[in-house]
Amino acid sequence: MLSSGTDDEQLAKRALLARQLGFMPPILQQEAEASIALDRDQTHAIGPVTVLCGAWKSYGGCILPARHNQGRVDIPENHQFKESTVKTFTAKRDPNEDWQGELEASAAHLLANAAGLNLKDPHGAATPARFLRMLKELTTPEEFKFTTFPNSEDNDEMITIRDIPFVSLCNHHVIPFIGTANIAYIPGDRLAGLSKFARTVKYFAHSLNVQENLTKQIADFLEEMLQPRALGVVLDAEHLCMTIRGVQAPGAQTRTASMRGFFADHDRTAKAEFMATINGGKSR
């Protein structure tokens, strides 16, 4: 068996980690086959794991215990595997464990092999950790209380909140799309504090998303919270996935809209008034 602390053992552990995280770069394929040769107490398999046993049939077998009592799989030591035998086992991840170190190892492998990051350079050594913090920051919404007040004066005029900035991550390419939101509503029985509209946009934008869905999510939430006579949400954004890569069309803007109540009625002038307000006097 491989002794603790050897280079081969470290390579095998890295390969097993790659399997646990759901990917297997070709460069680690041989390391994956070596992972079954680890001592029992050193081998951990969390998540779906495929073990290629053929190359190590001389060891007689392998064991893949999970890090808790559930999901333990034993293969008798006297079991002989034939060449190219493939066994698949599943063990459950312990939700109480801290996986930050493993995520950083995965990020380091990704950035080094896909983007050429030099992990030995002082500027690159901490980049995997910063990369993970950035992803978490951009996809973790900030909780808030959506405060409303009675519409005691029976206000039935349009209220518009313009040019609310937002940044979200494209669900297709994990690259930002950046823009502004314009929201208008005609109150029903409730009014909302003006800052809550900006907080709502920011909340839903902090996610992996597409602009069409983001627009609808904001509108659905505001409609549920306010039950307004009319509601309009319009988002304008530049998608870096089409301006700095792919078709490379800098300056291209995408507009999405969701209209509810009076704003969705094309026979009324409410929608045209809203659009003129955000378009500098133009109704389209």
> What pLDDT sits at residue 283?
56
Break the chain down into helix, strand, coil percent, rounded to 5.
40, 25, 40
Burial 171-197 (b: 16+ CB within 10 A, else e): eeeeebbebebbbbbbbbeebbeeebb
Stretches in the chain below the pLDDT threshold 70: 1-98, 281-284
> What pLDDT sits at residue 266?
78
What is the sign, positive or negative, of the torsion defined by CA atoms of 266, 269, 272, 274? negative
Residue with tokens 């946009």, as numbered in its chain = 201
Single-letter code of the amino acid located at 153 = E
Pairing mode of beta strands 254-261, 176-186: unpaired
Pairing mode of beta strands 148-150, 190-192: antiparallel
Say how many C-beta atoms besides its own lie within 10 A of residue 19's C-beta.
20
Burial 224-250 (b: 16+ CB within 10 A, else e): eebebbbbbbbbbbbbbbbbeeeeeee
Residues facing residue 74 across a β-bridge: 63
Residues facing residue 169 across a β-bridge: 176, 208
- Domain 148-278 in CATH 3.30.1130.10? The answer is yes
> What pLDDT sits at residue 64?
32
Residues 42, 63 contacting (CB under 8 angstroms): no
Q: Domain ranges in the chain?
A: 7-91, 100-139, 148-278
> pTM of the entire structure?
0.66
